[in-house]
Amino acid sequence: MKFSTAIKIAGFFCFLGMLLPACSTETRQEAGSEFEQFATWVDQNAKRAETATEEEWNEMQAEYTRRSTELESKSADWDDKTKAEWEKLRTQWTETEGKAETRFRDADAAVEGDTI
């Protein structure tokens, strides 16, 4: 009786040991999926920012900040490739910010020039 109980307990712990790596892989896949969704969002909105109104741009900025903060909190699970892609996305968004802000500044300057 003791032998069968010991076998059952050992089997249970082996089973749990097999589940842990599966959970870790699932977490990494989920993080990768969220990252891919964010990368797609950045690409789409970087293009959209070229013609967005200032109000739309402010909404995009708020959404970018929210999503990037949420994603970055999970960056400990990322591999080196994902971390490098993250840096590219941040650079892409920074360039988009610069272009949008320049466009809005130029538009404001043109309006001021017309009113003088």
Residue 102 has pLDDT above 60, yes or no: yes
pLDDT level of residue 3 (50, 70, 90 thresholds): low
Would the CA dihedral through 37, 43, 44, 45 be positive or negative?
Answer: positive
Report yes or no: 38 and 67 within 8 Å, Cβ to Cβ.
Answer: yes
Residue 29 has pLDDT above 70, yes or no: no
Mean pLDDT across the stretch 95-112? 88
Residue closest to 66 by CA, chosen among 95, 88, 85, 45:
45
Residue closest to 100 by CA, chosen among 32, 31, 54:
54
- Give the per-residue pLDDT at 23: 46
Measured CA to CA in angstroms, residue 46 lies from 3, 6, 42 at distances of 65, 60, 6
